[in-house]
Amino acid sequence: MLNRPPFQASPMQANLPMGLASQVRGVKQGQQPVPQPPELGMPRFMNYYADYSGCGHWRMIWPEQVMNAHSKAVVHGTTVMNGDARQYTGVKGVRIQRQATPQQLHFIKFLRGVADKQNFRLIYEIDDICFSEDIPDYNKFKSAFTDPQIRKSAQEIMSMCDEITVTCPFMRDYYKEKTGNENVTVIPNFMPKFWLGNRSDLNRTMKSFEDNQKKPRILYAGSGAHFDVDNNVGQKDDFEHVNRVIAKTVDKYQWVFLGAFPLSLKPLVMAGKIEFHPWARLFEYGDKLRDLNVNMVVAPLQDNVFNRSKSDLKYIEACALGLPIACQDICTYENAPIRFKTGDEMIAQIERTLGDRKRYKSLCKKASSYADTRWLESDNNIDCYTEVYQYHVGDPKRINLARHNK
């Protein structure tokens, strides 16, 4: 989900060594610690988010909210680093997301010392590749990773944490090699029902299927990070292999782009032959997807290190809508039943899916069934988070994490 600057500065001030606690917002020197919560029987965790955008919500905020709501734990989260060691009393685990600047490194060194003294786990969360040599040139956020100090700080922070959490097996192996930290654990992305639940309606989907028979609606939803939007790098982007067939089929299919579109398709967008909608705000996203009244979704990607490290978000979002999706045939989408390698194969899969009503209905049902396995509120899924805060790698109590880390 590299669709925002990767190390958005938390409101954590730099130069922490002198009077550390007084230079971060929160408890000041000499101030009494916040009273412990009344839920004394539940473990207490802390989160430091990198941002309040999609990544912060998917990986930190939503799991935190569900753990609290389901009485799994008492979790406190913020973007503001707290330099008062007393505030960590009684904490079982602290999870930090995408911290990598030299200033953040200094704080994490402080936090590492507190963790060692107070015996809590320090966990690093990352859901993207953050080393510039493996970020494609067409990704407009690559420049935020090119500073060698960022790389050095990121590697040092990750190596000093007890564990790193990632979204997929490929990324697990990648960070083991890049950081030397063997304790890298997969927690797949899980969807909160309060965000994307109740969007699947088979009767509505089949009515749309019938209504749009003359010109089925095909959706791509994604950010500009997938495209060479400035046309200045001359490198294949994630749509380079499908642009031709999309342009060729604008009279047969109503192509719908949400968020961004390839520069090469701009003339067709401007001419009204391709439908474009600006990116929706996070809490409007589910309704926006549903209201676009599409019949199928596509998820093209180039096969490179960066994309192999992506999670299957687009697949599970489509499943939450009860819609079939044609995905690029790379490890990212290994669970998807409809995959393609080339643009021509993508069109063939679309034709095969939309040309058979019985098959289409069956795929919609299977999509909804798969979505049911990926809801965050499921005990099996939310407990992946409670386990990683409390138990070390290899602990037999990590029952749910073991399912994703074989």
Q: Residue 231's pLDDT is what? A: 55
Band (pLDDT 50/70/90 cuts) for residue 152 is very high
Helices (H) and strands (E) in the chain, counts: 16, 12
Q: How far is CA 292 from the centre of its chain?
A: 23
Q: Write down the pLDDT at residue 33.
A: 46
User: How large is the average pLDDT for residues 176-200?
Assistant: 93
Which position has the higher pLDDT, 6 or 256? 256
Query: If you classify domain 20-190+376-402 with CATH, what class do you get?
Result: alpha beta
Let me know the angle formed at the C-alpha of 201 by 373 and 330, rounded to the nearest 5 degrees. Answer: 45
CB-based contact 167:307 (threshold 8 Å): no
Residue 35 has pLDDT above 50, yes or no: no
User: What residue segments make up the domains of the chain, in order of their start?
Assistant: 20-190+376-402, 193-371
CA distances to 169, 216, 238, 252 from 245, in Å = 32, 15, 14, 11
Percent over 70 (pLDDT), the chain? 88
Could you give the CA distance from residue 394 to residue 199 in angstroms, rounded to a whole number?
38
Position 18 scores a pLDDT of 28
Over 90: is that where the pLDDT of 140 sits? Answer: no
Distance CA 80, CA 104 (A): 11
pLDDT of amino acid 230: 60
- The mean per-residue pLDDT over the stretch 337-358 comes to 98
Q: Is the pLDDT of residue 41 over 80?
A: no
Q: Which of 92-106, 220-234, 361-375 has the lowest mean pLDDT?
A: 220-234
- 193-371 folds as Rossmann fold (3.40.50)
270-290: average pLDDT: 93
Shortest CA distance to 24 belongs to which of 138, 129, 105, 107? 107
The per-residue pLDDT for 229 is 60
- Side chain identity at 346, as an amino acid letter? M
**Dihedral angle computed from the Cα positions of residues 296, 302, 307 and 313, in that order, rounded to the nearest 10 degrees:** 0
Q: Is the pLDDT of residue 354 over 80?
A: yes
Residue 7 has pLDDT above 90, yes or no: no
pLDDT value for 109: 97
Tens digit of pLDDT for each residue in 42-59?
Answer: 899 999 999 998 999 999
What pLDDT is stored for residue 226 in this prediction? 78
**Which residues is 254 bridged to in the sheet?**
217
Mean pLDDT rounded to a whole number for the chain: 88
pLDDT value at position 251? Answer: 97
Q: Is 209:288 a contact under the CB 8 Å cutoff?
A: no
193-371 has the same fold as 20-190+376-402: yes
| pLDDT, tens digit (0-9, with 9 covering 90-100), for 287-305 | 999 999 999 999 999 999 9
Mean pLDDT of 148-160: 94
Whole-angstrom distance, CA of residue 6 vs CA of residue 122? 20
Least confident piece of the model among 124-128, 131-135, 225-229: 225-229
Structure tokens at 5: 């600057």
What pLDDT is recorded for position 139?
82
> Rg of the chain over CA atoms, in angstroms?
22
pTM for the model: 0.88
pLDDT classification of 235: cutoffs 50, 70, 90: low
User: 71 or 13: whose pLDDT is higher?
Assistant: 71
